Structure 1
Amino acid sequence: MDADAREAWDRVRRRLRAEVGEEVYSSWFPRIELDGIHDGFVRLSVPTRFLKTWIQQHYIERLVSLWQEEGSADRVELIVRTAVMRAPGAAPAPVRTVVTRAAAPADVEAGTVVVSSMSNPAEVANGSPLDPRLTFSTYRLGDSNRLAHAAALKVAHAPAGSGPVFNPLYLHAAVGLGKTHLLQAIAADGSDHGRRVVYLTAERFMYGFVAALKSQSSLAFKEQLRGIDTLVIDDLQFLQGKSVQQEFCHTLNALMDSGRQVVIAADRPPAELDALEERVRSRLAGGLVVEIAPLDDELKLEILAARIATLSHQHPGFGVPADVLNFIARNCGQNGRDLDGALNRLLAHNQLTSRAITLEMAETAVRDLVRSSEPKRVRVDDILRVVAKHYNVSRADILSQRRTANVVKPRQIAMYLAKMLTLRSLPEIGRRFGGRDHTTVLHAVRKIDGLVGTDRALADEVETLKRLVNDE
């Protein structure tokens, strides 16, 4: 691959990172690679079918646009690296702008992940692998997570054969605040207390169910899952596909109705899981729903101290002065992953340049992680909630196809705010507003933008809504 192609790909990635934000980019795009450019055709590859499906559904249009704007190519194909075997130097496959999804069983909706390499779906029912470091003893406590920790501990330590404590226990928080840590701790401790516990990511649940359909062993798959004491599902927001959701709902009902414990984690409360059916959201909301709030400075310092202790075992002599720790805690993000990133920067600068860790060195090493001066990151969910309340309509009304005046105005204002206050693209906003086309969003943004310039009352309304959203 020539240098021009690599440079073009670097520019596309930088623009994509700027548009979607660091959090989204680091979740979905670090493992995407450029396979080649041939006659205006770009081939990109990812390591898993799940990642391919997600990018196709949410970002393929933007990737095509970025390559077109770059002038290097106007067509993009996304493939799974492990599924492609070709001779060195072979030409790319026939061009197609949006990759055709893998063939699925007749009763699995398009877009559902299909994994043909999973020959034994029963392996999935045995659970996703656990990280031995994620235990209750390594979980750091503060005001933001104390209730979630206490509830998780209660569930994990329930004696074998006892009924559920909270059913379901539903934990939600933004990325990097310890949801997965608590869920894996529940799975590990529950097994130690004689309970049959299965920990699954939503991705792995989908893999298992679809593979079971393909191998005609879905009944065995269901029975294995329903024969356990505790089911732990992580990242529920990624559960996709009508058939998969229906099976999840059946499994959830079967377990809860038979007195088995269910624990769920997601990045938002049940009511905001728009992709899930109403009956599933209602059942999830009927248990104990606990939010894990952003870390306060005191808890950040505890987490930093624990991470430094671990790093000092691996790198003798590594230490961070108190003033540098305070600087990182105050300025480098709101979650554990941000803190890890800052410490890794300090370690790298210290080890590779032999420079002592000082406040001046730290300010240079982590300058692109400092977010104290940036505005609060706004979510589309925050906007929907504020606008719906302000105009006395329901969230469902805004996302519906209704076109009455009392719904159209709030919907257009919400779309306008989503474009002004978030990093999401027009197609992304359209998907979050009931699956609308990006042109509909563009029309709403232009209309409200024009009215704000001529209608003082509406301009004041919009400013009020902006303040309310930023105060959320």
Structure 2
Amino acid sequence: MADGESAERDFQEGWSRVKKRLNVELGDDVFSSWFSRIECDGVAAGVVTLSAPTQFLKSWIKSHYTDRLVELWNAEYGEVRRVEVVRRSALKIPAQMKLVQSQPVETVPSAQVEAADERFAGSPLDARLTFGSFCEGASNDVAFRAARAVASAPEGSTPLYNPLYIHAGVGIGKTHLLQAIAHESRNLNPRRRVVYLTTERFTSQFVTALRDRTALDFKEVLRSTDLLLIDDMQFLTGRSTQQEFCHMLNSLLDSSRQVVVAADRAPGELEGLDERVRSRLKGGVVVGMGRPDAGMRRKILEMRYAAARERDPRLSIPEQVLDYVARMVVSNGRDLDGALNRLVCRAQFSDAPITVEACELAVADLVGDREPKRIRIEDIQKIVARHYNVSRQDLVSARRTRTVVKPRQIAMYLAKTMTPRSFPEIGKRFGGRDHTTVLHAVRKIEGLVGADQKLSDEIELLRRLLQD
């Protein structure tokens, strides 16, 4: 017993000296964050066994500090071949058992951690929202391909797009893509820990964890995920909630865990979001999705109609009716689904034939969305000024600096293409400029849009912001 107590005291003193050297190297803040809860469980056959209370902390120490720990242990203790980091179980291992272990033993997660996994489960997935049921087209092909690449990434590989940020208006397909990633990833890599969360559920779980004093369990569950998908980022509010999200995001990205985020606007447009979070999101891969064009709307209807006929082979909706819906319901895919569902219901429960005239009545309120929103030049100036970080006064001033000229020309172009105003009227609203100045601006932006994809994307975003 005395020999065991002596050996225990010996390696614990060695561990204390190693920690002091680490503290000097890393500084108090970093050392406290990563090593304050690390314990030394024993030294045997040239192997040092350290234990961490959480899976996340264990993984972080293993991936960032084991080489340096080996060097420091060799300086203090002698011949150490490697340092192993295991996760501590709820039961403490007696000192005598630590010393006789020839190989470190990985501990089993406690029932408490497993219960935490269940309590902080992700949002439910819709089995219908897969890549197979997603309609790809020119307005969403980049987002679609990036999503597939994330879902099919080999297990343990370094994420290529991290975080992947997808933004689009209501009903364009953001949620569909995120859930498709979750389904595909789980099918290809069953061992991969995938969590899909709406911001509403994230906030609710965080508040509950604070109330029940289980915040550490909550953090551990999320930070141990391999793939985290966050939907509706625009609804993330509250200072403490945003701070916790920022810490979680940093931890996941720093440990090469894949994060995918969806919102209804680009990161820079999320005005209520903490600047640190916005900065981290902007540093990833940001892709937008636009409204479907006529061809894509028709394709969406064909896919949905084919699925409906599989459920009910007797269903019959004339092609000209589907053409009418594709032509008239232009807002988003969700409204197209709604229009088709109404026609399916009418076909199943009414003896009257499905004609274009009957369809007009059935989807009249959805066609109403086709009426363009009345957009004022003042609205355009306000949105453009905010997007390019200039003032509205700058746009109507005589300033000729590059930071002002380009936004002014874009605002003039949007005013001409999105309002019924004439060139002279637009020039008057931009500081009394001549109509030829407006004409020059419009032609210049028209010429640039075809050759500059980034500018084209910016203008598409500004259009969407003005129309929403």
Q: TM-score range by the shorter chain?
A: 0.5 to 0.7
Question: Which of these residues, 185, 192, 202, is aligned with residue 190 of structure 1?
Answer: 185
Does 1:162 pair with 2:157?
yes
Question: Which of these residues, 366, 383, 386, is aligned with residue 385 of structure 1?
Answer: 383
CA distance 1:298–1:198, shift in 2 (3 Å): same
Q: Which residue does the alignment assign to 2:238?
A: 241
Equivalent-residue separation in structure 2 for 1:332 and 1:275 (angstroms): 32
Q: Which residue does the alignment assign to 2:173?
A: 178
Equivalent-residue separation in structure 2 for 1:274 and 1:241 (angstroms): 13
**Which whole-Å deviations, capped at 9, do the CAs of 1:420-465 have from their partners, x for residues lacking one?**
x9xxxxxxxxxxxxxxxxxxxxxxxxxxxxxxx9x9657978x98x
Per-residue deviation, 1:406: 6.5
Does 1:135 pair with 2:130?
yes
CA distance 1:353–1:459, shift in 2 (3 Å): farther
Q: Secondary structure at the match of 1:370?
A: helix
Task: Please list every run of 5 or more consecutive structure 2 residues that lacks an aligned counterpart in the other structure.
Answer: 1-114, 398-410, 416-424, 443-458
Which amino acid in the other structure matches residue 317 of structure 1?
A: R
Per-residue deviation, 1:344: 2.1
Per-residue deviation, 1:187: 1.1
Question: What aligned pairs does 1:117-132 form with structure 2 within 5 A after superposition?
Answer: 122-123=117-118, 125-132=120-127
Per-residue deviation, 1:326: 1.3
Q: Secondary structure at the match of 2:315?
A: coil
Q: Secondary structure at the match of 1:375?
A: coil
Q: Which residue does the alignment assign to 1:151?
A: 146
Equivalent-residue separation in structure 2 for 1:381 and 1:273 (angstroms): 18
Equivalent-residue separation in structure 1 for 2:380 and 2:278 (angstroms): 18
Q: Which residue does the alignment assign to 2:453?
A: none
Q: Secondary structure at the match of 1:171?
A: strand
Question: What aligned pairs does 1:288-367 form with structure 2 within 5 A after superposition?
Answer: 288-367=285-364
Does 1:250 pair with 2:258?
no
Does 1:260 pair with 2:266?
no
CA contact (8 A) 2:395 2:430 kept: no
Q: Secondary structure at the match of 1:136?
A: coil
Equivalent-residue separation in structure 2 for 1:217 and 1:286 (angstroms): 31
Per-residue deviation, 1:340: 1.2
Equivalent-residue separation in structure 1 for 2:118 and 2:253 (angstroms): 23
Q: Which residue does the alignment assign to 1:48?
A: none
Equivalent-residue separation in structure 2 for 1:364 and 1:125 (angstroms): 46
CA distance 1:151–1:382, shift in 2 (3 Å): farther
Per-residue deviation, 1:363: 1.6
**Which whole-Å deviations, capped at 9, do the CAs of 1:346-365 have from their partners, x for residues lacking one?**
22333343111111221222
Equivalent-residue separation in structure 1 for 2:395 and 2:294 (angstroms): 42
Question: Which of these residues, 278, 283, 306, is aligned with residue 281 of structure 1?
Answer: 278
Per-residue deviation, 1:316: 3.8
Q: Secondary structure at the match of 1:262?
A: strand
CA distance 1:167–1:180, shift in 2 (3 Å): same
Equivalent-residue separation in structure 2 for 1:375 and 1:177 (angstroms): 18
Q: Secondary structure at the match of 1:137?
A: coil
Per-residue deviation, 1:276: 0.4
**Which whole-Å deviations, capped at 9, do the CAs of 1:175-223 have from their partners, x for residues lacking one?**
1111111101111221222321111000000011110000001011101
Equivalent-residue separation in structure 2 for 1:355 and 1:274 (angstroms): 51
Equivalent-residue separation in structure 2 for 1:378 and 1:408 (angstroms): 18
Structure whose residues are more often helix by fraction: 2
Equivalent-residue separation in structure 2 for 1:337 and 1:267 (angstroms): 15
Q: Secondary structure at the match of 2:132?
A: helix
Q: Secondary structure at the match of 1:199?
A: strand
Query: Which of the two has higher C-alpha Rg?
Result: 2
CA contact (8 A) 1:159 1:195 kept: no
Q: Which residue does the alignment assign to 1:229?
A: 226
Q: TM-score, normalised by structure 2?
A: 0.58
Aligned Cα root-mean-square deviation (Å)? 3.6
Work out the percentage of aligned pairs sharing the same amino acid: 49
CA contact (8 A) 2:316 2:347 kept: no
Number of residue equivalences? 303
CA distance 1:266–1:181, shift in 2 (3 Å): same
Task: Please list every run of 5 or more consecutive structure 1 residues that lacks an aligned counterpart in the other structure.
Answer: 1-119, 399-404, 410-416, 422-452
CA contact (8 A) 1:197 1:231 kept: yes
Per-residue deviation, 1:323: 1.4
CA distance 1:294–1:381, shift in 2 (3 Å): farther
